Structure 1
């Protein structure tokens, strides 16, 4: 199993889609997949190429960055998959717009995606469609904005968080 087999399978599934690129760099395999095809591409990798572990899923904000991105894109979501059978790794990139970024949730394929996606939502504001529990994971519920976005005002004052009421332990009288 190698990158050439993945290319052939993607070509069979998606045709000659110019928005799907595969390459190797510094000993790792990469794929750049259009955001509307990311779920199907990851499903193919899991079902047909034994990428049975989601290692990581993270976001990068390229606002005011000089690297050329696909037209209208600002955010890159990188998905890192690993095969415990073959030891192979692949990194899948997909790009999202500045306004209302939304991605397909990978939780139906990898339950471990749950908290990764919640972190990306909390820090960058990327919505994950069909996520089972999309809510903040690091910031409190009343927090306004997404602090890792490059346009987040670091001097902005936040609403005061309510103190957590101490519950009585089952061991206390």
Structure 2
């Protein structure tokens, strides 16, 4: 099944309004969906007999920075038996420092591999996955301050008395 066929089937089953954007010309063609529609789309992609996206290869989080004011989550899906692929993109507003974290519904109840991918995105970018069964930091200590892959992240000076930030940047060994 080709990308156009997948999009046509999604529109037929869920309605024309369901997909916010369709980007067939991208290097990896993708569809963009509102976070509220992600669970229904994910369920359809996994359960529909003609689609059967049984493999969630990767979930990627992106911070577009404070200037743009958005964050994205991309889901790279494959159907092993049917040999077709799809990228699903969800965009959320980026939160300011004292505001609640952006939220995207979990898909870990559909694809088990999303469990750790979502935890990593939560840990490093600060996107909360609602409904996740165990959303906690996976790479950093539970009491770490901030989310290091955010474009405006400021490393804390110390962590439990250990110096975290260098006084000055290290010299570039490649400069003559």
Cα distance in 1 for partners of 2:27, 2:91 equals 23
Cα distance in 2 for partners of 1:30, 1:60 equals 15
Answer whether contact 1:29 1:89 (CA < 8 A) is retained: no
Q: In the TM superposition, what is the alpha-carbon distance from 1:27 to its structure 2 partner?
A: 6.1
Structure 2 match to 1:115: 116
Q: TM-score, normalised by structure 2?
A: 0.79
Structure 1 match to 2:61: 59
Please give the secondary structure, in 2, of the residue aligned with 1:141.
Answer: coil
Further displaced range: 57-66 or 10-19: 10-19
Q: Which runs of 5+ in 2 are unaligned?
A: 96-100, 163-176
Aligned residues: 155
Answer whether contact 1:28 1:89 (CA < 8 A) is retained: no
Q: TM-score, normalised by structure 1?
A: 0.80
Structure 2 match to 1:167: none
Structure 2 match to 1:20: 20
Q: In the TM superposition, what is the alpha-carbon distance from 1:11 to its structure 2 partner?
A: 2.0
Structure 2 matches for 1:1-173, cutoff 5 A? 1-17=1-17, 19-25=19-25, 28-48=28-48, 49-63=51-65, 73-99=69-95, 100-154=101-155, 156-160=156-160
